[in-house]
């Protein structure tokens, strides 16, 4: 047996105006539904969770695994474009650190920042967060990770009666843009500087000796955010609630709520049922990224010149477009940059949009694009086949100009166009089975999605179109 002892969270060094010590509210009859043994091993924890005494109670918050009490941090944020004031970890608590990673429980009870909410997370949304963190990691997209998933029969009320669960999340830091906004809007520039210094010391130490370390950090956050959103767009991930309090300073995907992956391509796709105006639609994400960075830059103004802030922000558009073009060239198996790249991409998006062609299935089929055939398997996915033929002709010309070996190109494309993503209906199946007491689908999906680029013949059905019943599914902010 191996008892876990976490190190104190470095965040504590900041002092009590940045957080509150909290007490986890015990949950009855806890049951460990999932354990991420690969992540566990990378942190020096056992592969086999049975080697940890009382694992379910430890990862529900019932039993302490750190010497210090947990803390909940304070932040503010812009929600749906509007200043929302103080928010904070309303249902997340930081237990401590292991191997340089922060360990946080989500759903372990109320904190001073719960704002009349219950501090809980329901099983449904916890399964989604657990699976999607790991699916994103499998796709090579920066994200917070999920170490464990614990359920309890405790009742939680949302629109209907549900049950509670706790996800153990892991990240080098859970700092959000909103942490900086909080102290800026309070007018507490001393605290703002202390926070920025802390972030630089621990997460951006290479900028410590820059002419202006705060500007250097902002520039890097701009670049990381541009890269992250390019990753999302390429794989068809919609975050759903890109509020500034849900934006990671480290450029990680964070706070999985009403997220969704595109099925049929629609640039206007809104995955969050509560997002009535479509502010966070798929095609809006790049622009919202910039809005959020503007909020961060504004909050850092006491530490830098306005001109320096503007210079950092101005890099976003170019960095995003460069990153996106790189992703799409790779998805198309192209190596060289060419002046007509964007024309080639946008003509393709128009084709996919016109037919609402399935994003993932299309790209995977395109991996087998052949220079000498009509490419029926891809062509048949299209509504306007003449337009596809015209596009495919130009694509062939590009490929011919590059002269890359066809087999080599196909292999490279298969390594960047996933076969398996966490479609809504796949998560829903795991949720329905879990609600019926069968948790095996969670582990099955976790295993499948850890290798999304590999052919996994036993899982062919998981790569198909969503079933008809999936059109009825809707996800909202309720979680």
Q: Which of 25, 255, 275, 319 is close enough to bind ligand AMP by CB under 6 A? A: 255
**In sequence order, what are the beta bridge partners of 165?**
121, 151
Decide if residue 255 touches Mg ion (CB under 5 A).
yes
The size of the chain, in residues, is: 479
Decide if residue 477 touches ligand AMP (CB under 6 A).
yes
Nearer to ligand AMP among residue 108 and residue 222 (C-beta):
108
Q: Which of 241, 249, 367, 430 is close enough to bind ligand AMP by CB under 6 A? A: 241
Yes or no: say if 109 and 24 are a contact pair by the CB < 8 Å rule. Answer: yes
Number of alpha carbons in the 13 Å side-chain half-sphere of residue 333: 29
Shortest Å distance, C-beta 187 to Mg ion: 24
Decide if residue 89 touches ligand AMP (CB under 6 A).
yes
Which range binds ligand AMP by CB under 6 A, 114-122, 192-200, 216-224, 425-433?
114-122
C-alpha 225/C-alpha 231 separation (Å) is: 10
Tokens representing 289 are: 């990224």
Is 245 one of the catalytic residues? yes
Per-residue binding string, ligand AMP, 189-228, x by CB under 6 A, is ----------------------------------------
C-alpha 7/C-alpha 100 separation (Å) is: 9
Decide if residue 119 touches ligand AMP (CB under 6 A).
yes
C-alpha 127/C-alpha 333 separation (Å) is: 34
Yes or no: say if 381 and 420 are a contact pair by the CB < 8 Å rule. Answer: no
Catalytic residue among 89, 209, 231, 245: 245
Yes or no: say if 327 and 231 are a contact pair by the CB < 8 Å rule. Answer: yes
Decide if residue 246 touches Mg ion (CB under 5 A).
yes
Shortest Å distance, C-beta 255 to Mg ion: 4
Yes or no: say if 226 and 289 are a contact pair by the CB < 8 Å rule. Answer: yes
C-alpha radius of gyration, the chain, whole number: 23
Residue partners of 378: CB distance under 8 A and separation at least 6: 362, 365, 366, 368, 369, 388, 392
Number of alpha carbons in the 13 Å side-chain half-sphere of residue 61: 32
Out of Mg ion, ligand AMP, none, which partner does residue 333 contact, by CB within 5 to 8 A per kind? Answer: none
Out of Mg ion, ligand AMP, none, which partner does residue 88 contact, by CB within 5 to 8 A per kind? Answer: ligand AMP
Q: Which of 337, 339, 342 is nearest to 402 (CA)?
A: 337
Tokens representing 104 are: 């946080």
Shortest Å distance, C-beta 309 to Mg ion: 25
Out of ligand AMP, Mg ion, none, which partner does residue 367 contact, by CB within 5 to 8 A per kind? Answer: none
Out of ligand AMP, Mg ion, none, which partner does residue 275 contact, by CB within 5 to 8 A per kind? Answer: none
Decide if residue 253 touches Mg ion (CB under 5 A).
no
Beta strands in 56-160 (DSSP E): 71-73, 76-79, 82-86, 92-98, 101-106, 121-122, 145-157
Shortest Å distance, C-beta 218 to ligand AMP: 23
Decide if residue 264 touches ligand AMP (CB under 6 A).
no
Q: What is the DSSP string of 319-362?
A: HHHHHHHHHHHHHHT--S--TTHHHHHHHHHHHHHHHT-BHHHH
Nearer to ligand AMP among residue 75 and residue 184 (C-beta):
75
Per-residue binding string, ligand AMP, 302-321, x by CB under 6 A, is --------------------
Which range binds ligand AMP by CB under 6 A, 36-44, 82-90, 131-139, 450-458?
82-90
Which range binds ligand AMP by CB under 6 A, 83-91, 223-231, 323-331, 401-409?
83-91
DSSP-based three-state secondary structure for 240 = coil
Number of alpha carbons in the 13 Å side-chain half-sphere of residue 282: 22
Give the CA-trace dihedral at 29, 145, 239, 140, to 10 degrees. -140
Per-residue binding string, ligand AMP, 320-339, x by CB under 6 A, is --------------------
Nearer to Mg ion among residue 77 and residue 213 (C-beta):
77
Per-residue binding string, Mg ion, 194-233, x by CB under 5 A, is ----------------------------------------
Q: How far is CA 449 from CA 139, 372, 414, 429, in A?
A: 8, 33, 15, 15
Decide if residue 25 touches ligand AMP (CB under 6 A).
no
**What does the binding site for ligand AMP look like in residue numbers (CB under 6 A)?**
87-91, 113-114, 117-120, 241, 245-246, 255, 257, 477
**What does the binding site for Mg ion look like in residue numbers (CB under 5 A)?**
246, 255
List residues with catalytic annotation.
245
């Amino acid at each position: 047996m191996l008892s876990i002892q976490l190190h104190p969270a470095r965040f504590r060094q900041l002092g009590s105006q940045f957080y509150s010590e909290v007490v986890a509210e015990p949950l009855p009859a806890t049951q460990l539904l999932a354990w991420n043994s690969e992540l566990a091993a990378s942190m020096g924890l056992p592969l086999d969770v049975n080697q940890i005494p009382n694992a379910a109670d430890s990862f529900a918050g019932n039993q302490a695994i750190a010497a210090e009490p947990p803390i909940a941090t304070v932040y503010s944020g812009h929600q749906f474009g509007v200043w929302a004031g103080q928010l904070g970890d309303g249902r997340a608590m930081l237990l401590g650190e292991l191997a340089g990673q922060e360990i946080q429980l989500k759903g372990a009870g109320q904190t001073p920042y719960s704002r009349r909410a219950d501090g809980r997370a329901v099983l449904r949304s916890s399964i989604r967060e657990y699976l999607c963190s790991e699916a994103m990691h499998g796709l090579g997209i920066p994200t917070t990770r999920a170490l464990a998933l614990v359920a309890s029969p405790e009742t939680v009320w949302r629109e209907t009666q549900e049950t509670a669960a706790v996800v153990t999340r892991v990240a080098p830091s859970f700092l959000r843009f909103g942490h900086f906004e909080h102290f800026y809007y309070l007018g507490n520039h001393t605290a703002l500087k202390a926070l920025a210094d802390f972030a630089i010391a621990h997460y951006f130490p290479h900028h410590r000796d820059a002419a202006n370390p705060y500007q250097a950090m902002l520039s890097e956050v701009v670049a990381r955010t541009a890269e992250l959103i390019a990753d999302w767009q390429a794989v068809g991930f919609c975050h759903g609630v890109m509020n500034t309090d849900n934006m990671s300073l480290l450029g990680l995907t964070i706070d999985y709520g009403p997220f969704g992956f595109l099925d049929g391509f629609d640039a206007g796709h809104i995955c969050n049922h509560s997002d009535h105006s479509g502010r966070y639609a798929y095609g809006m994400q790049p622009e919202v990224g910039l809005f959020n960075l503007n909020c961060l830059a504004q909050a850092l103004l006491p530490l830098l010149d306005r001109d320096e802030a503007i210079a950092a922000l101005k890099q976003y558009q170019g960095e995003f477009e460069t990153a996106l073009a790189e992703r799409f060239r790779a998805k198309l198996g192209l190596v060289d940059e060419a002046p007509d790249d964007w024309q080639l991409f946008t003509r393709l998006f128009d084709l996919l949009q016109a037919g609402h062609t399935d994003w993932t299935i299309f790209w995977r089929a395109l991996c087998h694009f052949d220079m000498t055939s009509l490419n029926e398997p891809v062509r048949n996915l299209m509504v306007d086949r003449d337009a596809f033929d015209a596009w495919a002709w130009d694509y062939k010309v590009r490929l011919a100009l590059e002269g890359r070996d066809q087999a080599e190109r196909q292999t490279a494309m298969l390594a960047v166009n996933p076969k398996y993503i966490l479609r809504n209906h796949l998560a829903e199946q795991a949720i329905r089975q879990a609600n019926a007491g069968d948790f095996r689908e969670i582990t099955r999906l976790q295993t499948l999605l850890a290798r999304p680029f590999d052919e996994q013949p036993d899982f062919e059905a998981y790569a198909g179109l969503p079933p008809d019943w999936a059109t009825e599914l809707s996800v909202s902010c309720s979680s």
